[in-house]
Structure formats: C-alpha cells, structure tokens
Amino acid sequence: MDFRKVYEEWKSFPGLDEDLRAQLIQIENDENEIEDRFHKSLEFGTAGLRGILGAGTNRMNIYTVRQATQGLSEYIKKTGDTKKGVVIAYDSRNFSPEFAKESAKVLCANGIKTYLFESLRPTPELSFAVRHLGCISGIVITASHNPAKYNGYKVYGEDGAQMAPDAADAVTEEIRNIDMLRGIKLMDEKEAVEKNLLIYIGEEVDKCYLDCVFERRVNPDAIKDVSDFFSVVYTPFHGSGNMLVQRILNMCGLKNLLVVKEQEQPDGNFPTVKSPNPEDKEGFTIAIELAKKNNTDLIVGTDPDSDRVGIVVRNSDGEYVTFTGNQVGALLTDYILAQHKEKGTMPENPVVIKSVVTTEMVRSIADFYGVEMMEVLTGFKFIGEKIKEFEKTNSHNYVFGFEESYGYLSGTYARDKDAVVATMLIVEMAAWYKKQNMTLFDALEELYKKYGYYAEGVVNIVEEGLEGPARIAAMINNIRTGAPKEIAHLSVDAVRDYVYGTIKYSDGSEKEINQPKNNMLYLEMDGGNAWIAIRPSGTEPKLKLYFGYRHEDKDKALKKLEELKIDTQNIIKG
C-alpha cells in the first residue's frame, strides 16, 4: 500500500468527516505518523477489529467501521437469512454509540433487519440477545479493557459465540473488496425506523437476560443468610456493568452494596484509572479506600464492556489484596462443584472447560469431584464451540468454564464470558464462606493446602511500531526452531506446537494434538509441575508468556516462578 497516496486521497475526499480531516491536516508534515496510520488497514480477525481511534485506514473511525459492516452484510446476504437480523450493542468508550449507529445504518441499507440497544449494555447480554432474538449475527462496539485511546468491533455468530475463524476469513475477503470511502451503502436512521428495519431494544431483553443469570445461583439462600452483616463494594470502572450488576445483586437479596460513585457513570476517558483493567490493583484504589472506611468484606470490579471481573479481598492480616483470574476461577470451580455435589444437583456427564493457558489447579479440582475437564485454545469462542458441540451430541453437560484473563461463564444462555453472572456467583460464594466464618482468602489457602501451591504469572513483551510484528514472530520462532532442554534448571519434557498440531517429547517421539491450528507453543516441564505457554496477542502488539509452577511450599514456588520468567525472556530475546 502506497501510504502517502492513500493519505492524500483521504485528506481530499469531499465527504470526509471534518474532525478526521483536521487530524490529517495536522500531521501532513509527519511522515512517520502518516505511515503508521495508512501503511495498512486494520485487520479483521476472529476478534473483529481493534485499534487506536483516529483518522486513517489503520485506525478505528466511522469509515473502518462502515467497511467492516458492509463486508459483514455481503457475507450475510450470501450465506444467511437477512430476515433473521443482526443485534448491536455498545459500551461506554468514546465513539461507541456513533459506531453502533453507523453499523446499523449500513446493515439496514443492505436490507438486513437490525436490533440496536437503546443505550450501553454488557457484551455478554449481546451474546444472549443474538440467541434470544434468533438473529443471524451480532456486533458489539468495545475494546474491552484497553486504554481509552482504543475502540473495537466484535462480531458474533448465530450461536451467540464470537465469529468462528472460517467465517471471519470469509468476512475478511468481503471487506477487502470494498472501497472504504465510496463503496458503502447507508440508510438514514429515520427511514430505517419507518421501514421497520431498525428496531430499538432494551428493558424486555434486560429482563430475560437477568432471569437467565439469576437461574445460575447454586446456593440461593447464601446471600440472604448473611445479608445483615455482609457487604460488598462494586465499581463498573466507568463502563456498562453498573445497571445490570446492581439489579442482579438486588435480586439475590444483597442489602449492603456500596457503589464507587467516582467510577459509576459511563465515561470513555476513564478519568480515575490509568487503564480500566480489573487485572490492575491501581484501578481499585478508590474502591479500597471506600471498603476500608466501611469494613467491607469484598470488592468487585467489572471492565468497560462487563465481560471480565476482578476482585479484592482481605488477607489474614486484614489487608486488601487482589486475586488473579486463575485464583478466582479455581475458587469458583471448587465452590460450584461442591455445592452441586452437596445438593445432589450435579448433571449427568458434567464438564468444566478451561483454556490451555489457564491454571492447572482446575484439573485437580475437577478430578476430586469426578468431573471431566476439557482444554481449549485461548479465546472464549472455543468454549462456546464446545457448548455448541454438546448441544448436538448430548455427550456432556457444561457446568462452568473460564480463562485466566478474568473471564467466566456459568450456564449456556450466553456464549461469551460474563461478568454479570460471575459477579453474582463471586458474591454468593463470598457470602457462603462468610457464614462459615471464612474469607475468600481463607478459602484459597485451603485449596492450596489440598492441591499444592500454584504460582502463576504472565509477562507481556510489547513490540510497537512497524517492525513490531516481525520482532514478535522472530522471538516465538527462537523457541519453535530450537526449544531448550531445560529452563531455570527444570527439564523440558515436551513441546506442543499448535501451528503444526504436534507434541514432541524429549525422547524424540511425537504425536498429534487434536486442536485447531494456532500460533502458540506450550512447554511441559518438570514432570508436569511446571509449564510455559507462548503466544502473540490477538488484539495488541504483544508477545504473551504464561507461566505456572506447582510446589507444596509457597515460597519455593514463587521463587521458581520468577526464575522461569527471567530465564525464558533471556532465551526468547536471544
């Protein structure tokens, strides 16, 4: 792509949005900035689009959004039933409402009925709405937990899960054939409404969604039993979770809910946090102060599109500490399975699902309860695909699934991670332990005593700029072409390569992996006590390194984890 030529074409385009044109005029003498914005188009993948807001083909703006929606429209017209329609949701990010409406105008111009939420809603409700309304597809405008300068565009299939790789590839081909500035069909909003092509939705879908979430309680009396002396602080991080999280907790009987007022209202600039990411303790600073003043039992925070949730609890010294996604997932798995077993409500052929890079503690927990555990690639769509498979084969009953990246789902009403149901279950679980005179910190310590201490962590190697992708590819290839025999003085027993679908053992033997192809390596180490996974991020310029080490002694486990991190980075960077 001749980036300078494309830049000039955009700048001189008669119908260009004037704010975007002003941006282009401002950078006309900055060759590096022009190249960054125009050297390529944003890539549409199984996670849709995600990028920095601004003018350019490599930015999120109304033109890249329109092009993606026109491509989706062409795909639907060729492969699906346009009368089934598409449902659109959006979060609190800057330009999310505008991008949602532009998407609706393109769909309607292509004769595709469109259901548009009247105001911001969580991503999991979009997943639910696709199935509830019988739509052919769904769109949600969000960049999840990314910093404020980002936005994104995610597409869902008819099953309510994120679009499968083969479908995403087909949509990508359609997008490539569309002129971003001139090749888009658009219909006026008023005309779309008059023709019954554009339908606004809200409370009716909310109620049905919350009813499904409410059914996922495993101990309906847990919160009510301690409601007079149990309290929770909640922050939606300026996002879309506030209304529905408050409603579901009220339905469960929680009396003492304190909402962080400074972070309650939607705001795409996220003014009170460096990043609206529930993984980062920094974002919980205000919530922790509120919890300290009120002697609160639990702090919960949902990200901007409310598909991920993080928690803060008091440790044995009374200090508030964050839990990782792995720790919360292990606690929820144990709690849900234990309650089902105690109440005799465990379904036949139950299954728990985790991603490859998620804690191995879940395997031990599932074994203890006699429940099968399955492993899928990173990305909640793969958990969704398993649920769809079970519906066809009746081979298993899905109980719970999660990823280490703070995403959880109980039930099959949605096919994406859901912070609303996860928040409800976390609060229920904390209330149940409260009745046992235990905190969630106590409960986690009990799991470690039972199964061993699992020290786990993630390292992100960020490589921005034009050469970033090449540097990331080179680093993962350093391991692919010459995997070490040991790391941090631990033996490498086997290397799984998901690109080639093989697992190679240290004795030279080899066998196939029954998983879709994916650019990921997984090193099995120390007789199963240690592992390392390496994969490029699908949405950011990062190489992600995941580590796990199990030992009976916590201090030894944590020390070895740090050794693994240091040694692996040295090997990868050559």
Task: Give the pLDDT confidence of 360-371 residue by residue, as tens digits.
Answer: 999 999 999 999
CB atoms within 10 A of CB 491: 14
Residue 375: its pLDDT value, please? 96
Instruction: State how beta strands 137-141 and 86-90 pair.
Output: parallel
Q: Which of 291, 299, 173 is nearest to 236 (CA)?
A: 299
What are the pLDDT digits (tens) for 371-411?
Answer: 999 999 999 999 999 999 999 999 999 999 999 999 999 99
Percent with pLDDT over 90 in the chain: 92
Answer whether residue 46 shows pLDDT above 80.
Answer: no
Residue 465: its pLDDT value, please? 79
Lowest mean pLDDT among 444-453, 490-499, 533-542: 533-542
Alpha-helical runs (H) found in 344-483: 361-368, 380-393, 419-435, 440-451, 468-480
Both structure tokens of 106: 């393109």
CA dist., res. 12 & res. 129, Å (int): 41
Q: Which of 124, 207, 118, 129 is nearest to 423 (CA)?
A: 124
Residue 541: its pLDDT value, please? 84
- Amino acid at residue number 127: S
CA dist., res. 294 & res. 289, Å (int): 9
Mean pLDDT over 438-455 rounds to 97
Residue 234, beta-bridge partner list: 259, 300
CA dist., res. 188 & res. 46, Å (int): 29
Distances (CA, A) of 523 to 505, 511, 519: 10, 15, 14
CB 280 within 8 A of CB 289: no
Residue 481: its pLDDT value, please? 87
Q: How far apart are the first and last CA of the chain?
A: 32
CA dist., res. 48 & res. 162, Å (int): 9
Answer whether residue 222 shows pLDDT above 80.
Answer: yes
What are the pLDDT digits (tens) for 141-152?
Answer: 999 989 999 999
Question: Which domains does the chain carry?
Answer: 40-201 (3.40.120.10), 217-451 (3.40.120.10), 453-572 (3.30.310.50)
Both structure tokens of 477: 């290839």
Q: Over the chain, what is the mean pLDDT?
A: 96
Instruction: State how beta strands 114-117 and 86-90 pair.
Output: parallel
Answer whether residue 1 shows pLDDT above 70.
Answer: no
CA dist., res. 117 & res. 205, Å (int): 9
What lies within 8 Å, CB to CB, of 319 at 6+ separation is none
Active site members = 144
Q: 483: pLDDT confidence band, cut at 50, 70 and 90?
A: confident
Work out the angle at residue 246's Cα, subtended by the Cα atoms of residues 432 and 119, and round it to the nearest 5 degrees.
150
**SS3 of residue 362 by DSSP:** helix
CB 463 within 8 A of CB 572: no
Q: Which of 498, 526, 523 is nearest to 512 (CA)?
A: 498
User: Does 537 or 440 have the greater pLDDT score?
Assistant: 440
What are the pLDDT digits (tens) for 130-184?
Answer: 999 999 999 999 999 899 999 999 999 999 999 988 899 999 999 999 999 999 9
Q: Is 396 exposed, middle or buried (0-12, 13-18, 19+ CB in 10 A)?
A: buried
Q: 187: pLDDT confidence band, cut at 50, 70 and 90?
A: very high
Residue 165: its pLDDT value, please? 85
- Amino acid at residue number 209: Y
What are the pLDDT digits (tens) for 518-550?
Answer: 999 999 999 999 999 999 987 778 999 999 999
What are the pLDDT digits (tens) for 49-68?
Answer: 999 999 999 999 999 999 99
What are the pLDDT digits (tens) for 550-569?
Answer: 999 999 999 999 999 999 99
Both structure tokens of 362: 């879940």
Answer whether residue 511 shows pLDDT above 90.
Answer: yes
CB 125 within 8 A of CB 200: no
* Sequence-distant contacts of 8-14: CB under 8 A, at least 24 apart: 9/181, 10/38, 10/55, 10/56, 10/57, 10/181, 13/181
